[in-house]
Amino acid sequence: MSEPIRVVVTGAAGQIAYSLLYIIAKGDVFGPNQPLILHLLDIPPMMGVLEGVVMELADCALPLLHGVVPTADPAEAFKDVSAAFLVGAMPRKQGMERKDLLSANVKIFKVQGEALDQHAKKDVKVLVVGNPANTNALVCAKYAPSIPKENFTAMTRLDQNRAQAQIAAKTGVPVANVSNVIIWGNHSSTQVPDASFAKVVKGGKTLSASEAVNNDAWLQNEFIETVQKRGAAVIAARKMSSAMSAAKAAGDHMRSWFLGTEPGKYVSMGVLSDGSYDTPKDVVFSFPVTIENGKWQIVKGLQIGDHYRQLLEATGKELVEERAEAFAIIEA
Ligand code: NAI
């Protein structure tokens, strides 16, 4: 068995973390032979709640969990970590303007970028879950100049999983038989779920999603909208935002990043745009990527149809606006 790695989860007393910590600590993310020490960061008023989470982690009696460090100090939380799940963020409260939310959150991600820069391992892999995830990841990367920019990513895996599940339900196959559904752009309602290149294994044959669904109008309209609005649908039903599925997606994202993608398959991640597919450069944009030896690469050469090209432009525009607002707040 190898030496334990240190993994930080922020927002550790919150609802996503409550599912995520178990997924990580039981070995679903870094593999069954990788012991770990979990660093749990939350804000001072949540230390009492966090103590309860620490008790429960102990009571899970998980063999891979070699230690737990609960703290409200970013310096201690980020010390020597190899992986960072940045989940903690200020939730939107009633009457709060989008700008107020952005303002509170970009400041948190500036502080955490600086703490990562000073204390984390230089090859730390950072996944931002807290919203607005794409722009928070960009801010975090900017304030951690000693860590490569490609080590900062934002989560759109939940959107990918939702999209895969919709196609599986529509075609009557298990979800594992659906692959290569893409989420382009921002993790917001402008995101672009795109099944143009998706594959569905049905009746022993590999079909395109278009062949398997046999309803292109559904794929270009209802499917896209359902995925875009799925988060709101869960809130309406549960009166709380997606947590179990968000935690599963965060685990999936980091697992793919550490352990790689399967041959012929790709996953979607928010990564620093190099301008591929005429997207704006230097925003964190969700692309299909393949991963080998811990390095992601944007899948190139896909022929994007006109319908999707327009949608990609709109989500890119939103990210450029969000970037301008975020840096105006920080530099004010
Ligand atoms: P929650 O409100 O239950 O937990 C958030 C936790 O973060 C709280 O314990 C809070 O005290 C903590 N926190 C606040 N500021 C912090 C700071 N500066 N440092 C450390 N911890 C801090 O929220 P939940 O449901 O766990 O969601 C967390 C975030 O994830 C939200 O921003 C939510 O919008 C986002 N989200 C993103 C998804 C994605 O697909 N990218 C999907 C679902 C949620």
| Distance (Å) from CA 11 to ligand 1 centroid | 5
- Whether the CB of 11 sits within 6 Å of ligand 1: yes
- Among residues 39, 119, 187, 253, the one annotated as catalytic is 187
Instruction: Please choose from 53, 101, 129, 268 the residue to mutate so as to test ligand 1's pocket, defined by most ligand atoms within 8 A of CB.
Output: 129
Predicted local distance difference test score (pLDDT) of residue 34? 97
Predicted local distance difference test score (pLDDT) of residue 252? 98
- Is position 130 annotated in a ligand binding site? yes
- Whether the CB of 130 sits within 6 Å of ligand 1: yes
C-alpha–C-alpha distance, residues 27 and 12, integer Å: 18
Q: Is the dihedral of CA 44, 48, 52, 57 positive or negative?
A: positive
Predicted local distance difference test score (pLDDT) of residue 92? 73
- Whether the CB of 185 sits within 6 Å of ligand 1: no
Predicted local distance difference test score (pLDDT) of residue 284? 98
Predicted local distance difference test score (pLDDT) of residue 99? 78
Predicted local distance difference test score (pLDDT) of residue 46? 98
Question: pTM for this structure?
Answer: 0.97
* HSE-up of residue 197 (Cα within 13 Å, Cβ side): 20
* Domains recognised in the chain with CATH numbers: 5-154 (3.40.50.720), 157-320 (3.90.110.10)
Instruction: Please choose from 18, 78, 87 the residue to mutate so as to test ligand 1's pocket, defined by most ligand atoms within 8 A of CB.
Output: 87
Tokens at 167, concatenated: 């196609």
| Distance (Å) from CA 174 to ligand 1 centroid | 31
Longest dimension (CA), the chain: 59
**Residues 194, 299 contacting (CB under 8 angstroms):** no
| Distance (Å) from CA 247 to ligand 1 centroid | 11
State whether ipTM is beyond 0.95.
yes
Predicted local distance difference test score (pLDDT) of residue 43? 97
Report H helices in the chain: 15-25, 47-59, 74-78, 98-119, 133-142, 157-171, 209-213, 216-220, 222-228, 230-238, 244-259, 306-331
* Positions of the chain with pLDDT lower than 70, given as ranges: 94
Other C-beta atoms lying within 10 Å of the C-beta of residue 145:
11
119 is catalytic: no
Predicted local distance difference test score (pLDDT) of residue 244? 98
Task: Pick the residue whose CA is nearest to atom 9 on ligand 1.
Answer: 14
| Distance (Å) from CA 310 to ligand 1 centroid | 31
Task: Pick the residue whose CA is nearest to atom 34 on ligand 1.
Answer: 131
**Residues 172, 299 contacting (CB under 8 angstroms):** no
Instruction: Please choose from 42, 85, 162 the residue to mutate so as to test ligand 1's pocket, defined by most ligand atoms within 8 A of CB.
Output: 42
| First-last CA distance in the chain | 49
Task: Pick the residue whose CA is nearest to atom 6 on ligand 1.
Answer: 11
Long-range CB contacts for residues 47-52, cutoff 8 Å, separation at least 24: 47/72, 49/13, 50/12, 50/13
What's 6's DSSP letter?
Answer: E
- Whether the CB of 113 sits within 6 Å of ligand 1: no
- The gap from C-alpha 180 to its chain's centroid, in whole angstroms, comes to 17
- Whether the CB of 198 sits within 6 Å of ligand 1: no
Predicted local distance difference test score (pLDDT) of residue 165? 98
Q: Which residues contact 119 (CB under 8 A, 6 or more apart)?
A: 74, 75, 78, 79, 80, 81
| Distance (Å) from CA 272 to ligand 1 centroid | 22
**Residues 257, 291 contacting (CB under 8 angstroms):** yes
| 301-317: pLDDT as tens digits | 999 999 999 999 999 99
Q: What is the DSSP string of 227-286?
A: HHTHHHHHHHHHSS---HHHHHHHHHHHHHHHH-PPTT--EEEEEE--SGGGPPTTSEEE
Which residue(s) pair with 199 in the sheet?
A: 179, 208
Predicted local distance difference test score (pLDDT) of residue 97? 74
Ligand 1 atom closest to the Cα of residue 41 is 20
